[in-house]
Each structure stands twice: as structure tokens, then as C-alpha cells.
Amino acid sequence: MAEIDFIHSFNQLKTLADSRRLSILRRLMAAPATLTQLGEALGEHPAWVRHHLKRLEEAGLVEISHTQVTGNYTEKFYTARASALVFQELILPEFPGQQAVVLLGSHDLALNLIARRMNAANSPLRLMILPVGSLDGLVALRQGMAHLTGCHLLDADSGEYNRPYVRHFFPDRQVALVTLAHRAQGLIVAAGNPLGIHTLEDLARPEVRLVNRNRGSGTRLWLDWQLERLGIPTGAVAGYEQEVPTHTAVAMAVAGGAAQAGLGLEAVARLYDLDFIPLFRERYDLVIPVERSSGPDLGALLDLVHGASFRQEVSALGGYETLHTGEQLPL
């Protein structure tokens, strides 16, 4: 067992975002234990422990230390691969009279509007945004690498946006889910749509090359779900492995001829004078720890979101609906 190791992948961060797995790992850092012993210590059935232990093992965080034969039964003892783990630290700049706030999450143009206003000299906040995708944004928030995040994750089973994922990532922590806007997404294609692209099935045509969003983004998850539903293998879509991190990058690739189609926001298609084929509307939410949502640091941000002038500016982007902007959703 290593004395101290570093968390070195998002897969490990995602695994430990579940507090139940973190509890198992901490016990195995202290001493090896069997499924039965862990179940007794945690008050859970061994089958429950086995499920989470398997995820920890797949992430390379635990391993079998030894086995012990008792009568006709062989017990496996599990242990952590390190006695302690180190996470990254978030180091922020100091702005005179301003609080630096970090948002890691899904790319959105309305967020850029917020940042523009928040970063004015007379604002109490300085909003710093890094688009990493919806899933990785939730992971970052869970691990303390961001103060808030933004996501648009559709749960295929329930048809609900965001809430199922937030409940999963934060079973033991109070967070607020605040709607930023509803957005139109669809296929972004060249002006005039010269190839006559109208449906997702057209992505499998040999003359059509896709520019895809990054893994973990809500847009990518939606596309993968739809391709599976339609029976279209990803290998049949030229350019499927070509990934970019933002909607803007999708539009730039189409406008520059590097791709003939990409899934993205109507607002971005308008920005680059490209054609847009609408496919669905989604809810984009901000996820904020409750202790921050009622505090002075993010209070100014939420006040801005509730303002009528902000809603007008967002609506002018195109493809955005702001009827429910600022509403807090129950979890």
C-alpha cells in the first residue's frame, strides 16, 4: 500500500463523489476488511457493500490484500491502495474589493452574460468560468473545485433534467437547483444547408462529417442516447471521435468547413450565421451549495439572474426561454 497517493483521473473523482464509497474507502485505509465486516460496520447488507466496492476496485482505489480460509469458506480481505489520498487545491486570484467565484460546468452563452456583468469594477464578485461539461462540473463541485456549476443532464429513465443526477452526487449535502433558462438545441449546419441535413439519421450519410461534443457534456449524452435509440452505431458516424469542449467550437468547425454538422445551441448558430435544425428543448440549471446560495458571495449573482434586464438580454440571444429563469427547484 502506498503511504500517500494523488487522485489522478476524473474517473476516480466520480467514483468518490458518492459519499457511501468514500466511507468504505476510508475504512479500508485504516485496516483491511471483508464484505461482511464492512457491512456490519456501516449497517448495510454485504450485497450493497459489494456493489460499491466493485466500483472502487474498477477505479483502482482498492484491491484484495489477502484471503483467509475458515472451514469451507474463503473470505477476501480488501484494502485501500493508499493510506491517504490528495486532491487538487483551488488557488484563486485576489481582486481588490471582489470575491473570486469559480464555475466549472456546461458551456452556456447566458453564463457569459453573467460573467460580463459580474466582472465589472463595481461588482462584489469576479466570476471565472471553465467549460468542462455537465458531469465533470458536478464532480468538481462535489470535490470543492468549484463554487457552483451549471448542467443540463437528461435522465433517460425519468425524462427529468438534472435532479436525478444532483440527488446522486449530493445524497448527503444540501444544494440549490436554480433554473438559468430553457434552451433550444439541434443540428448546426452550413448556411443554406447545402447537404439537406434534417435529422439525426442524416449523420450516418457518408458525405456528412460530424463535430462532436466532449464526453460528459449534456449534449454528448443526449446524442449518444438518441443514436442508441435509433440503432445508429457510433462507428457509422464520420467524425464522431472529433470532440470540442463548447457549442461555440462546434459552430466554428462547421463554419470553417471542418465538419458538416454538429449538435449545439440555436443561439450559437445565429451568432455564426449558420442554419439550425431544432431537435429538442432542455432546462439548464445552476447547482449551488445552500450555504453559498444564501450568502453574500453568490447572493449578488442570483439577484442578477432574477432581474428583468438580464432576462431580456438572454432572450435576445435566440433560442432561449426565460419564463422560469431564477426559479428554485425542489430536490
Which of 131, 161, 168, 167 minimizes the C-alpha distance to 146? 131
The pLDDT score that the predictor gives to residue 46 is: 87
Sign of CA dihedral 264, 267, 272, 275: positive
DSSP-assigned states of every residue in 165-184: HHHHH-TTS-EEEEEEEEEE
Mean pLDDT, residues 59-86 taken together: 87
Q: Which residues of 74-95 are buried (b: 16+ CB within 10 A; e: fewer)?
A: eeebbbbbbeebeeeeeeeeee
- The one-letter amino acid code at 97 reads G
For the chain, which residues make up each domain, given as ranges?
5-86, 91-331
Strand partners, 185: 265, 280
The C-alpha cell of 102 is what? Answer: 469559480
Q: Which of the following CATH numbers is that of domain 91-331: 2.60.120.380, 3.40.190.290, 3.40.50.300, 2.60.40.1080?
A: 3.40.190.290
pLDDT of 102-159, one tens digit each?
999 999 999 999 999 888 767 788 899 999 999 999 999 988 889 999 999 999 899 9
Sequence-separated (6 or more) residues with CB below 8 Å from residue 288: 147, 148, 175, 176, 178, 298, 302
- The DSSP result for 187-227, as a single string, is EEE-TT-TT---SGGGGGSTT--EEEEPTTSHHHHHHHHHH
- What percent of the chain has a predicted confidence (pLDDT) above 90? 70
- How many degrees, rounded to 5, is the angle at CA 248 between CA 245 and CA 254? 100
What is the pTM for the complete model shown? 0.74
In this prediction, residue 262 carries a pLDDT of: 98
**pLDDT of amino acid 78:** 93
**Given phi > 0 = left and psi -120 to 50 = alpha, else beta, which region is 84?**
beta
Is it the case that residue 297 has pLDDT exceeding 80? no
**C-alpha–C-alpha distance, residues 297 and 331, integer Å:** 23
Task: Please state which CATH number belongs to domain 5-86.
Answer: 1.10.10.10
